[in-house]
Amino acid sequence: MNPQLLKGTLDGALLLVIGQGETYGYEITEKLEKMGFLSIAAGTIYPILQKLERTALISGEMRASSEGPKRKYFTLTTQGEAKVNVFLKDWDALSSAMTHLISETRA
């Protein structure tokens, strides 16, 4: 997948993953990889998580881990849930328009 195509959607993708349930950074990257987002480095994810937390769309809590160092677990805030709803509406509109354009181009 072309990383340039992801730039405008990665915030929304992270919010969607976090909205599935409490999670931490490395687990988010694993989930995204399983869904086909193969070219996303951890160095890309963590600054976005910091931005989402700074803008109060997610909240983070450091906790001890039985598998190594502490981990920061993230959950969606009420503002984050609202942002997910806006993202989904915007994505549906963009997806529909692109599908229409592509089908006309291929015809």
Domain that holds residue 42: 3-106
Confidence band (pLDDT; 50, 70, 90) for 99? very high
Contact present, 25 and 42 (Cβ < 8 Å): yes
Confidence band (pLDDT; 50, 70, 90) for 1? low
For the cut 80, the answer to whether the pLDDT of residue 2 exceeds it is no
- Considering the entire predicted model, what is its pTM? 0.88
The CATH number of whichever domain residue 56 belongs to comes to 1.10.10.10
* 82 vs 96: CA distance, rounded Å: 21
**Cα angle, residue 73 at apex, residues 39 and 90 outer, rounded to 5°:** 55
* 52 vs 77: CA distance, rounded Å: 10
Choose among 79, 105, 83, 102: nearest CA to 9. Answer: 83
Contact present, 61 and 72 (Cβ < 8 Å): yes
Confidence band (pLDDT; 50, 70, 90) for 92? very high
Give the chain's domain count: 1
57-93 b/e with 16+ CB inside 10 Å = b? Answer: bbbbeeeeeeeeeebebbebbeebeebbeebeeeeee
**What pLDDT digit, counting tens, does each position of 10-44 carry?**
999 999 999 999 999 999 999 999 998 877 887 88
